[in-house]
């Protein structure tokens, strides 16, 4: 860490303050303060578009110890030949700020090209270290998530509400339609998956392409009537699902087309809203890589990767729908499925990144469904 870091404060909406030091960009910034319990995975978490507008607190004390893998062009997120980010979940750091106990600036890992503080600085993202993030996590668990601000000594003050992003999905969704064709498959031979991008993590694309699907990626508010597809995939994304009225209307229409639909996280909430159920904001959300979910009917428990602040209200699921997974910690709905059509979704992340990929088989299952109904 720099020899003489600037002092910094994290100020929360409830008036509480935590004092630490600046790392990354020395710039004051506000946002919704949320915590993750993940011990690793900061390159993927910080670039997850679902964190747009949020200041992320790492409950686990040490961050940055394995550096940042930015080959081949250090500083910028490398892309593969199709333009999909390598090692990261989008082309930029998405969080508004990063709150840690200790930020390692001498990483040790064969793939590390840059230290975490330098990466944040180059991307204009402020961090604060020296915070008791476990005490802070307990406070958020008691008070619920709050707006907060990182204030860095000697920089311009910001107000708490300056961190609110009016429509975060609009911010992170793709700008237009693009088609990704799997390697070694003749055009037209692969099943076509329309991916509604509300802020899709890159690993969703990688997972679909690895299963030899052709992916037509469309913006969150795109009208699907001009697109021929065999299966519809609803991505993750930031903010309140009720702000995605256009996507909800698209999905409602797609139910009557009868093609398989699968959703992840925001996609699960959007599917529920399209079915007529309700969603609500959880007091402090689920963020981390160790969330246990029990599958209805099997009693099998999976350890899942999660990052969400909203959930589907179980009792509002209409006739013909049922909860598919339940969170073993707090009993909230972690997935839904239709009894009448090939429509299902999960609140957790089967694509991991970061985290366990024990449930990646759900993407295989969806592709089997698509191939079976083609
Ligand atoms: N990862 C996600 O898709 C998050 C969904 C939604 N924005 C939530 O916080 O619940």
What's the confidence (pLDDT) of residue 71? Answer: 74
- Determine what percent of the chain is predicted with pLDDT higher than 90: 94
Model pLDDT for residues 287-298, shown as the tens digit of each residue? 999 999 999 999
Cα distance between the two ends of the chain: 56
Alpha carbon distance 321, 302 (integer Å):
22
CA of 170 to the centre of ligand 1 (A): 14
Residue ranges per structural domain of the chain: 7-164, 169-373
| Ligand 1 atom with the shortest distance to the CA of 168 | 7
**Tens digit of each residue's pLDDT (9 = 90 or more) over 263-314:** 999 999 999 999 999 999 999 999 999 999 999 999 999 999 999 999 999 9
Mutate to test the pocket of ligand 1, among 56, 94, 197, 266 (most ligand atoms within 8 A of CB): 266
In sequence order, what are the beta bridge partners of 81?
Answer: none
Residues in the chain: 374
Q: Is 266 in the pocket of ligand 1 (CB under 6 A)?
A: yes
Interval 129-176: pLDDT, tens: 999 999 999 999 999 999 999 999 999 999 999 999 999 999 999 999
Rounded to two decimals, the pTM is 0.97
Separation of alpha carbons 20 and 5, rounded Å: 9
- Over 80: is that where the pLDDT of 118 sits? yes
The pairing of beta strand 261-264 with beta strand 231-234: parallel
Q: Is the dihedral of CA 324, 203, 233, 48 positive or negative?
A: positive
**β-strands 102-103, 97-99: how paired?**
unpaired
Index of the ligand 1 atom closest to the CA of residue 311: 10
Is residue 199 within 6 Å of ligand 1 at its C-beta?
no
User: What's the whole-number mean pLDDT along residues 1-22?
Assistant: 91
- The topology under which CATH files domain 169-373 is Rossmann fold (3.40.50)
pLDDT score, position 2: 59
Judge if the upstream peptide bond of residue 278 is cis by omega within 30 degrees of 0: no
pLDDT at 113 over 70: yes
Q: What is the pLDDT of residues 332-374, one digit of tens each?
A: 999 999 999 999 999 999 999 999 999 999 999 999 999 999 8
What are 59-68's pLDDT values in tens digits?
999 999 999 9
Q: What is the pLDDT of residue 255?
A: 98
Distance 87 CA to ligand 1 centre (A): 21
Q: Which CATH architecture has domain 7-164?
A: 3-Layer(bba) Sandwich (3.50)
CA of 49 to the centre of ligand 1 (A): 9
Q: How sure is the predictor about 187, in pLDDT bands with cuts at 50, 70 and 90?
A: confident
State residue 232's pLDDT score.
98
Query: What is the helix, strand, coil percentage profile of the chain, to 5?
Result: 25, 30, 45
Q: What is the pLDDT of residues 330-342, one digit of tens each?
A: 999 999 999 999 9
pLDDT at 3: 64
Look over the chain and give the mean of its residue pLDDT values, rounded to a whole number.
Answer: 96
Is residue 237 within 6 Å of ligand 1 at its C-beta? yes
For the cut 70, the answer to whether the pLDDT of residue 237 exceeds it is: yes
Q: Output 81-84 pairs: Cβ under 8 A, ≥24 positions apart.
A: 82/180, 82/209, 84/180, 84/202, 84/205, 84/206
How do 321-327 and 333-338 pair as beta strands?
A: antiparallel
Other CB atoms within 10 Å distance of the CB of residue 342: 17
The mean pLDDT value for 75-101 works out to: 94
**Does the pLDDT at position 124 exceed 80?**
yes
* Residue 266 among known ligand-binding residues: yes
207 is catalytic: no
Q: Is residue 157 annotated as part of the catalytic site, yes or no?
A: no
Rounded (10°) angle between helices 245-257 and 266-275: 70
């Amino acid at each position: 860490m720099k020899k003489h870091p600037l002092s910094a404060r994290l100020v929360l909406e409830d008036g509480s303050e935590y004092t630490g030091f600046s790392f990354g960009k020395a710039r004051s910034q506000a946002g919704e303060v949320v915590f993750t319990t993940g011990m690793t995975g900061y390159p993927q978490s910080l670039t997850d578009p679902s964190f747009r507008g949020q200041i992320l607190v790492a409950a686990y004390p040490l961050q940055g110890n394995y550096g940042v893998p930015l080959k081949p062009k250090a500083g910028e997120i490398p892309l593969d030949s199709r333009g999909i980010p390598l090692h990261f979940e989008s082309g930029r750091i998405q969080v508004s700020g990063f709150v840690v106990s200790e930020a390692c600036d001498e990483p040790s890992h064969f793939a590390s090209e840059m230290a975490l503080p330098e990466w944040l600085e180059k991307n204009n993202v402020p961090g604060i270290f020296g915070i008791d993030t476990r005490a802070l996590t307990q406070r958020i668990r008691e008070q619920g998530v709050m707006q907060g601000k990182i204030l860095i000594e000697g920089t311009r003050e910001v107000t708490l509400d300056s961190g609110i992003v009016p429509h975060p999905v609009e911010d992170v969704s793709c700008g237009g339609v693009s088609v990704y064709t799997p390697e070694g498959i003749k055009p037209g031979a692969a099943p076509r998956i329309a991916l509604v991008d509300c802020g899709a993590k890159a690993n969703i694309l990688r997972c679909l392409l690895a299963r030899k699907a052709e992916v037509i990626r469309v913006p969150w508010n795109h009208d699907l009537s001009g697109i021929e597809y065999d299966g519809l995939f609803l991505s993750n994304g930031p903010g309140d699902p009720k702000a995605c009225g256009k996507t909800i209307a698209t999905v409602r229409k797609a139910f009557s087309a009868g093609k398989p639909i699968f959703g992840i996280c925001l996609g699960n909430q959007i599917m529920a809203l399209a079915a007529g159920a309700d969603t609500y904001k959880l007091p402090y959300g689920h963020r981390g890589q160790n969330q246990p979910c029990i599958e209805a009917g099997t009693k099998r428990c999976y350890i899942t990767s999660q990052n969400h602040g909203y959930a589907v209200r179980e009792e509002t699921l209409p006739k013909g729908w049922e909860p598919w997974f339940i969170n073993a910690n707090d009993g909230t709905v972690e997935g839904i499925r239709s009894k009448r059509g090939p429509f299902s979704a999960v609140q957790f992340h089967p694509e991991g990144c970061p985290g366990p990929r024990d449930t990646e088989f759900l993407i295989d299952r969806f592709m089997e469904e698509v191939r079976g109904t083609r």
